[in-house]
């Protein structure tokens, strides 16, 4: 990393909100001045009366190392000779009201292990990356026309050691990465690992945006983790939180004694539901801080993308306010105009430097064109979580099977808008906590029906247009909801049905990756054709997923009832024979074994607006995938 000594031009760009690599100027950097090695410190605190660097090296005495203010810029600088890697420090800030605050460095590259809160001088140099092949390959293939299976993971509770301690980044680089690769996932999405004080915030309340959390090791250890992911051809997505930050006294809140990173209007600053502060997107320096941070994780740690948390709460002024107040913008609307401009600006900045990056919005409203480019009138993300699909499907699957026939619109509605955005279908951590129950335990019925319903959900998810995401534990049917303070219930793999669920997810994932028609046209209407969406009485629907090449398609039949249909007729587009490519009801998956074992002969009988039709067996709570046989089988 080439560190820049603050120049007049850098300072100008910083205050314009256009110094997109401000982390090279701000914070603590090992440097040399007049032939002497030491550390250069820079911090933005425009309202402070005085700022000093304090730490063990000066017995935390602010009189020893006062910083110099750069004229009217609000930036304070100081070079301290003879300091080196590993020094612990904070900024002692004298506020306009006469208070003395001890603040962690907003741009610190590393932090003390909680409950300690100081920043740590840390060089990010020296790691030798081995992922050039990964980036070369990534540039050749755009993500829209490739398979994408995301494994969402909380590093602190995926697995724990016998004594209850965390696995390190390096240990996870072997255990977790190999596990995910074997299951067939293409990406790992990590719940926030930006430094945070409270374990049970899961990283969503941040104090150190540039500090990879010290819970699991050092910055170089995390680089090793990412490098190993890329070696196994697995992309890395970080959950990123630019909507709000926690109020801990050493953090960003009222940093120089005044609202600095947060708005001055308390109604806009307070996130009452979360006990946090919002960022003030009207301040160029704050915009600069966040854009630089997004690029930092790609520049320094080689991450492949960011899942941007709580976008709805950014773009709407009163989102999550619960009618406590009614803030409007200058035109009388409820949109946060500054936040919207920030979102557009950050997406443009990221894609200008990383065209193949993933910028994924967790946006839960009907805001249009979230995943459209900025110059086309969009917010500029390239993917959006399909929260509507997730909510509708989970609601539907929780309905007793005897009542599902009157609710099939919950299953089919998402198809009406599925091509309006580039969607990712999420079954995320948010759906298996806070007494919502695990995916397996949401479903009605006995033990067998719970597993059958879960297999049906996963099969339908794989067949539905859009990329896929599953939270850890879902792959083997975690029975209890996510317990973030313990590891997953790995002992369940010793039980037959849970092991069969694991095998099911693994085989389904690999089938998905090998079947181009299931992902090649995920975001284009040509990739989907309905056969029958109207069989509510039997809880069955069937459709085709299509690839780019002529004849590249598969037929999906989904049955969300407990009944077996032995002679169920479906329309098909061509004559000849079909075969069953996949059946979620196979006995090896824990199903009842209602399979189509023989080749399926097509009849010259138009049906479902198709020129031909065939009669098949439809399993209970089952998803069946059929494909055309290219060679006519003998003895049929």
Q: Which residue bears the tokens 């120049």?
A: 7
Contact call for residues 543 and 561 (beta carbons, < 8 A): no
The single residue of 87, 280, 304, 362 carrying the catalytic annotation is 362
One-character DSSP codes across 198-232: -GGGTT-S-SEEEEE-GGG--HHHHHHHHHHHHHT
**d(Cα 467, Cα 475) in Å, to the nearest integer?**
17
One-character DSSP codes across 288-309: HHHHHHHHHHHHTT---EEEET
Torsion angles phi and psi, residue 250, rounded to 5? -90, -5
As beta bridge partners, residue 432 has none
First-to-last CA distance in the chain?
68
**d(Cα 176, Cα 190) in Å, to the nearest integer?**
11
Before 115, cis peptide (omega within 30)? yes
The single residue of 87, 309, 338, 363 carrying the catalytic annotation is 309
* Closest to 357 measured CA to CA, from 307, 286, 310: 307
Backbone dihedral region for residue 519 (phi beyond 0: left; psi -120 to 50: alpha; all else: beta): alpha
Q: Which residue bears the tokens 């077996």?
A: 564
**d(Cα 524, Cα 434) in Å, to the nearest integer?**
36
**d(Cα 388, Cα 75) in Å, to the nearest integer?**
45
One-character DSSP codes across 483-541: -TTS---GGGGGSHHHHHHHHHHHHHHHHHHH-GGGTTTTTSGGGEEEEEEEEGGGTEE
* Token digits of residue 446: 């006995």
Q: Can 112 be counted among the known catalytic residues?
A: no
Q: Can 484 be counted among the known catalytic residues?
A: no
**d(Cα 89, Cα 54) in Å, to the nearest integer?**
6
**d(Cα 600, Cα 54) in Å, to the nearest integer?**
77
Hey, how many other C-beta atoms are within 10 angstroms of the C-beta on 8? 10
Alpha-carbon radius of gyration of the chain: 27
Contact call for residues 268 and 281 (beta carbons, < 8 A): no
Q: What sign does the dihedral 475-434-111-3 (CA atoms) show?
A: positive
Q: In terms of residues, how long is the chain?
A: 636
Give catalytic residues, as residue numbers.
309, 362
């Amino acid at each position: 990393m080439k560190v820049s000594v603050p120049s007049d031009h850098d300072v100008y760009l910083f205050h314009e909100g256009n110094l997109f690599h401000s982390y090279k100027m701000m914070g603590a950097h090992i440097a040399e001045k007049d032939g002497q090695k030491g550390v250069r410190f820079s911090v933005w605190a425009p309202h402070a009366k005085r700022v000093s660097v304090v730490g063990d090296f000066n017995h935390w005495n602010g009189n020893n190392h006062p910083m110099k203010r750069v004229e009217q810029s609000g930036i304070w600088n100081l070079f301290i000779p003879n300091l080196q890697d590993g020094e612990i420090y904070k900024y002692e800030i004298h506020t306009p009201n006469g208070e003395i605050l001890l603040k962690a460095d907003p741009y610190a590259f590393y932090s003390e292990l909680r409950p300690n809160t100081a920043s740590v001088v840390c060089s990010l140099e020296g790691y030798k990356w081995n992922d050039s092949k990964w980036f070369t390959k990534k540039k050749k293939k755009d993500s829209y026309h490739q398979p994408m299976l995301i494994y969402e993971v909380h590093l602190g509770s995926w697995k724990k050691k016998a004594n209850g301690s965390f696995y390190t980044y390096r240990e996870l680089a072997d255990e977790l990465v190999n596990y995910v690769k074997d299951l067939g996932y293409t990406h790992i999405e990590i719940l926030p690992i930006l430094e945070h004080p409270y374990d049970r915030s899961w990283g969503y309340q941040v104090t150190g945006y540039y500090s990879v959390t010290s819970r699991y090791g050092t910055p170089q250890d995390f680089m090793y983790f990412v490098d190993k992911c890329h070696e196994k051809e697995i992309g890395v997505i970080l959950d990123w939180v630019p909507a709000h930050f926690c109020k801990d006294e050493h953090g960003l809140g009222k940093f120089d004694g005044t609202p600095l990173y947060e708005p001055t209007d308390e109604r806009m600053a307070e996130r009452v539901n979360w006990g946090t502060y919002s960022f003030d997107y009207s301040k160029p320096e704050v915009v600069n801080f966040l854009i630089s941070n997004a690029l930092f994780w790609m520049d320094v740690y080689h991450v492949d993308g960011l899942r941007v948390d709580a976008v709805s709460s950014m773009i709407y002024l009163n989102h999550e306010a619960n009618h406590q107040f009614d803030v409007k913008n200058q035109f009388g609307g409820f949109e946060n105009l500054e936040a919207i401009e920030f979102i557009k600006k950050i997406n443009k900045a990221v894609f200008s430097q990383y065209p193949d990056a993933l910028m994924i919005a967790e946006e839960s409203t009907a805001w249009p064109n979230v995943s459209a480019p900025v110059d086309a009138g969009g917010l500029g993300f390239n993917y959006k979580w399909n929260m509507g699909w997730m909510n509708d499907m989970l609601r539907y699957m929780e309905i007793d099977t005897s009542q599902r026939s009157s609710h099939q619109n919950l299953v089919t509605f998402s198809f009406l808008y599925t091509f309006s955005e580039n969607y990712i279908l999420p079954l995320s951590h948010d759906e298996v906590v806070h007494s919502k129950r695990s995916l397996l335990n949401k479903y009605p019925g006995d033990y067998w029906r719970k597993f059958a319903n879960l297999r049906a959900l996963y099969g339908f998810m794989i067949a539905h247009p859009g990329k896929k995401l599953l939270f850890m534990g879902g792959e083997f049917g975690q029975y209890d909801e996510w317990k973030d303070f313990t590891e997953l219930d790995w002992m369940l793999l010793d039980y037959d049905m849970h092991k069969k669920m694991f095998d099911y997810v693994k085989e389904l994932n690999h089938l998905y990756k090998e079947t181009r028609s299931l992902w090649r046209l995920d975001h284009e209407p040509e990739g989907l054709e309905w056969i029958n969406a109207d069989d509510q009485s039997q809880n069955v629907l069937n459709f085709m997923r299509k690839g780019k090449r002529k004849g590249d398609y598969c037929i999906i039949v989904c049955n969300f009832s407990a009944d077996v249909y032995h002679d169920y007729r479906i329309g098909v587009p061509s004559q000849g024979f079909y075969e069953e490519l996949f059946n979620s009801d196979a006995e090896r998956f824990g199903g009842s074994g209602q399979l189509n074992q023989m080749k399926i002969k097509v009849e010259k009988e138009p049906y479902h607006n198709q020129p031909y039709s065939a009669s098949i067996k439809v399993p209970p709570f089952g998803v069946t995938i059929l494909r055309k046989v290219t060679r006519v089988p003998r003895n049929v």
